[in-house]
Amino acid sequence: MIKVKIQDALNKQLNAELYSSYLYLSMAAYFESVSLKGFANWMQVQAREELVHAMKFYGYIHESGGRVTLTSISAPLTQWDSALEVFKQVYQHEQKVTGLINNLVTLAVSEADHATNNFLQWFIAEQVEEESSADEIVQKLRLLGEDRSGLFMLDQELGQRVFTAPVAVEGE
């Protein structure tokens, strides 16, 4: 059975993943408002992936004999100055999430909770990808600068992203 200390920390992370989803959905809505449909699509897919992350925590907490308790989700920003500003925030946010996951691993190790440590390793790998994909788009946007046709091309590219449902989400 999971220790209360670990359960509480995992519940906090579940909230952080839901906030991530909320933030990216807000960014999707912003991109809709400035007619960048491809960017909006990318963000919607990202928002759905964050829900998958949240459900992984939901499933694991219950599977380990713990109890999920939901708390309020903070309101995200709703307005940005440019696509570059949005993606800079995505990158910063993912760096922050990486820090939260690292802290959870440190806690699991210090509590000798090997199962939780093992569960968290998927997120360790995922965060490398999350940071890398956000940074890649930041770099592309920096290169584009004020090039509107380049922005349009990137919008087309990001419009191709498709959400792939995981084969099995714990808790479903």
Question: What x-and-dash track marks residues 57-86 binding ligand FEO by CB under 6 A?
Answer: ------------------------------
Interatomic CA distance for residues 112 and 3, integer angstroms: 11
Say whether residue 17 binds ligand FEO (CB under 6 A).
yes
Q: How far is the CB of 152 from ligand FEO (least distance, A)?
A: 27
Distance of CA 129 to the CA centre of its chain: 11
Please list, residue by residue across 18-31, b when 16 or more beta carbons sit within 10 angstroms of its beta carbon and e when fewer do. Answer: bbbbbbbbbbbbbb
Of 130 and 155, which CB lies nearer to ligand FEO in the complex structure?
130
If one asks whether residue 56 binds ligand FEO (CB under 6 A), the answer comes out as: no
Near ligand FEO by CB under 6 A: residue from 25, 26, 50, 119: 50
Q: Which among 134, 172, 159 is positioned nearest to 52, based on CA atoms?
A: 172
User: Rounded to an integer, what distance in angstroms lies between the CA atom of residue 79 and that of residue 21?
Assistant: 16
92: left (phi over 0), alpha (psi -120 to 50) or beta: alpha
Q: Is residue 20 a contact residue for ligand FEO (CB under 6 A)?
A: yes
Minimal CB distance residue for ligand FEO: 53
Task: Report the alpha-carbon distance of residue 90 to residue 71 in Å, rounded.
Answer: 23
Taking CB under 6 A as the rule, does residue 53 contact ligand FEO?
A: yes
Instruction: State the number of binding residues for ligand FEO (CB under 6 A).
Output: 7
Give the binding site for ligand FEO (CB under 6 A). Answer: 17, 20, 50, 53, 94, 97, 130
